[in-house]
Amino acid sequence: MTVRRWAVLSSLLAPVALIGGWTAAAAVHPDFDQVRDTISALAAVDAPNRWIMTAGLAVVGACHVVTAAGLTGARPAGRVLLAVAGVASAAVAALPQPAAGHQVAAAVAFGALSIWPAVAAAPGVRSSWAATAVFLLCLAGFGLSLHADHLVGLAERVLAGAQVFWPAVAVLAHRDGGHRDR
């Protein structure tokens, strides 16, 4: 086994924290539009019950760091990128909109989460390269949506939702002796 048992738990908890966080926070935010509004708006300084999304983001950040530490079968540079994404996700929680540094932290998190699968992959593991390609396309779509406010929330959820599941995919592949997709 090339993954610590506790990394399985952390990798599975991250999607629950993120998607559960944005779902619960949106449910108690009466004017929130999940297609138009960003996840960060749920944790913004003036958001009602902002603690829900703030806690979700903090848990996701911690989960990514723990998963990176326990994913011993992945290449070290990829594990470092996953940990950087975790720290940046926690920084997003700690720097609510409109705080200085919020957008930088979000950009670092999304960027690191986009490329870490390919950087962490063993040679010839095509699924990790495909995941990185999909994440980069979603990241570009999210970037373009920033100029078309009516879809920014949807584009961000597609990107963040896809990215938050990949650590679990990697952990489970390594746990099972993975790399069958060569």
Note the pLDDT of residue 178.
Answer: 52
User: pLDDT digits over 130-147, tens only?
Assistant: 999 999 999 999 999 998
> CA-CA distance, 26 to 34, in Å (whole number)?
7
- Mean pLDDT of the chain, nearest integer: 94
Are 92 and 101 in contact by the 8 Å Cβ rule? The answer is no
Calculate mean pLDDT across residues 111-129: 94
> CA-CA distance, 133 to 122, in Å (whole number)?
16
Q: Half-sphere exposure of residue 69, counting CA atoms within 13 Å on the CB side?
A: 12
Note the pLDDT of residue 60.
Answer: 98
Note the pLDDT of residue 149.
Answer: 73
Binned at pLDDT 50, 70 and 90, residue 177 comes out as low
pTM score: 0.94
Note the pLDDT of residue 150.
Answer: 87
Binned at pLDDT 50, 70 and 90, residue 30 comes out as confident
* Residue 98 phi, psi (nearest 5): -100, 30
pLDDT value at 90 more than 50: yes
Note the pLDDT of residue 147.
Answer: 87
